[in-house]
Structure formats: C-alpha cells, structure tokens
Amino acid sequence: MSAIPNRVRHWAEEAYHSMLKAWEMLEQKYPKPSSREKLHLITYAAVICGINRQVKDKDKLNTIAWHVYDKQAQDMVKHRDHSFSVKFLMAYLDANVHLGVISEKRALEVMQHLADNFDLSIKT
C-alpha cells in the first residue's frame, strides 16, 4: 500500500484530488456526461482508491467495488440531493474504510473538513 494519510487535512486533500482526477477521466470518456453517465464516478472511486493504496489483487479490487456500489446504492436513496462530486467523495472514503485504512468516524471527519474547506460545487 502507498503512504496512507494520517491527518484529516491530508485525507481531504487526497480525496479532493482523486475527485478531480475522476472527473477528468469521466469527461475524457463522456465530454458532456449525462446524469446516468456521471454515476460512473462511483466506479472510479473504487479504482482510484485501489491505485492510491496500490492494491494489485483483482479479487480484492472487485470486493471493494461491490462494497462501494452497495453502500452508494443505499446512500443514493437517503441522499438524493448530494452532488455527484459529494457522491464520489463518499464512495472514495468508503472504499478506504472497506480496506481498513481509515475508520468510519475519521471518514466522517474528512467529509466535514471537505465541506468546510473545499469547493464541492465545482462539478455537479
């Protein structure tokens, strides 16, 4: 695994930059993505988490991806009003929780830090 952030601020920076990368990847594939196509950001969350944590085991990556899909499907019902950027960030942090490198409590702290200190409206 690559270096794991140890401070909320560092987790927030990593998650935010991962979100920007995911949007870049999405817009390369879909120059003007529809709402349905924007859901691919959830897939990118698991993929980028795997890259950042240097997970090479395909079975482990698939397990992370399915966990994230399941969790996000539940969250989408509860949080329909969240932007796609916020959905990505939640999925990215959840993937890291599933890997066991961050606690759910810390992930919530990171989300709060992101909301307080980063522009999460840059992409909707």
In sequence order, what DSSP letters do the residues of 88-115 get, joined into one string?
HHHHHHHHHHHHTSS-HHHHHHHHHHHH
Q: Is residue 53 part of a domain?
A: yes
In angstroms, how far is the first alpha carbon of the chain from the final one?
31
Q: Is residue 3 part of a domain?
A: no
Q: Is residue 122 part of a domain?
A: no
Residue 113 lies in domain = 8-117
Q: Is residue 86 part of a domain?
A: yes
Enumerate residue ranges in the chain where pLDDT < 50: 1
CB 49 within 8 A of CB 98: no
Q: Is residue 23 part of a domain?
A: yes
Q: Is residue 34 part of a domain?
A: yes
Q: Rounded to whole angstroms, what are the CA distances from 47 to 56, 61, 105, 120?
A: 11, 7, 23, 21
Quote the pLDDT of residue 89. Answer: 95
Quote the pLDDT of residue 39. Answer: 86
Q: Is residue 88 part of a domain?
A: yes
Quote the pLDDT of residue 10. Answer: 97
- Calpha distance 90→22 (Å, rounded): 13
Q: Count of residues for the chain?
A: 124
Residue type, 9: R
Quote the pLDDT of residue 113. Answer: 98
pTM check: above 0.85: yes
- Calpha distance 16→14 (Å, rounded): 6
CB 86 within 8 A of CB 39: no
Q: Is residue 25 part of a domain?
A: yes
**What total number of domains does the chain contain?**
1
Quote the pLDDT of residue 68. Answer: 85
